[in-house]
């Protein structure tokens, strides 16, 4: 959760964010923000079907549900909660998460960091003529979740600031305490600064930042 930035020590690694030359040509106005990714063939690893990103309640969330009931059951009603969605059986459903796209200052340096820290694999690169904004797509081979790293030709050189409208942070779910401990040890081994384990009513988490200051969390 937000509020942990002042307790995260500066990373030990140094990354050069000096400005790079702009692309020779900018995308046409009718291309910006309106592009279609062409179908790609992803080689699936042999073995059992990989896990998907479908949401499942954590042990803490399940305990809260058993103790207080769910909002739709009528046993508990959080402030501002509407039961209209509970009664509308025609409401479309969501099934997990497909991808997230982040704007970064140096997508090559960020791609190296995400591959080293999160184990993602480079899937594809797009130039300005293909996607409006140059970007690198990184794939988690276990869940097929994709992280897009976008670097606009006229992008800002300022670091990420959660106080601006947009993203505050992004959280990954882990399976159990042992897996959370493994991630903490992994971050320590790489010299990636992180918060201590924090405990809230909804669960436990550790937060850390990428080279641009974008905050991520491992949640249990």
* Confidence (pLDDT) at 127: 94
* Domain at 96-153: CATH code: 3.10.180.10
Which sign does the torsion angle of CA 123, 212, 172, 72 carry? negative
Span(s) in the chain for CATH 3.10.180.10? 96-153, 168-220
Q: What's the pTM value of the predicted model, to 2 decimals?
A: 0.63
* Confidence (pLDDT) at 29: 41
Sort 111 into a burial class: Cβ within 10 Å, 0-12 / 13-18 / 19+. Answer: buried
Averages of pLDDT over runs of 10 residues in the chain (220 residues) are: 54 46 43 45 52 52 54 58 64 90 96 98 94 95 95 90 92 95 98 97 95 96
Query: Interior CA angle at 122 toward 121 and 125, to 5°?
Result: 165
d(CA 65, CA 202): 10
- Classified as helix, coil or strand, 194 is strand
DSSP secondary-structure letter at 161? -
DSSP secondary-structure letter at 71? G
- Classified as helix, coil or strand, 6 is helix
Q: Check: CB of residue 216 under 8 Å from CB of residue 114.
A: no
Q: Which CATH number fits domain 168-220: 3.40.50.510, 3.10.180.10, 3.40.640.10, 2.40.10.10?
A: 3.10.180.10
């Amino acid at each position: 959760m937000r509020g942990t930035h002042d307790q995260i020590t500066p990373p030990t690694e140094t990354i050069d964010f000096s400005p790079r030359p702009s692309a020779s040509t900018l995308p046409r106005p009718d291309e910006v923000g309106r592009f279609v990714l062409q179908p790609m063939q992803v080689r699936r690893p042999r073995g059992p079907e990989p896990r998907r990103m479908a949401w499942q309640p954590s042990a803490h969330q399940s305990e809260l549900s058993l103790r207080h009931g769910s909002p739709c059951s009528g046993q508990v009603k959080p402030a501002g909660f509407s039961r209209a969605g509970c009664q509308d059986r025609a409401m479309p459903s969501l099934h997990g998460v497909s991808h997230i796209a982040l704007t970064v200052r140096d997508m090559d340096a960020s791609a190296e960091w995400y591959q080293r820290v999160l184990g993602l694999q480079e899937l594809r690169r797009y130039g300005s003529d293909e996607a409006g904004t140059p970007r690198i797509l990184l794939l988690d081979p276990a869940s097929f979740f994709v992280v897009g790293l976008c670097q606009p030709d006229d992008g800002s050189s300022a670091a990420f600031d959660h106080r601006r409208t947009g993203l505050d942070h992004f959280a990954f779910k882990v399976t159990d305490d042992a897996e959370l401990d493994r991630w903490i040890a992994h971050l320590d081994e790489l010299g990636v600064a992180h918060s201590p384990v924090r405990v809230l009513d909804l669960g436990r988490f550790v937060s850390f930042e990428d080279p641009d200051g974008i905050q991520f969390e491992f949640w249990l």
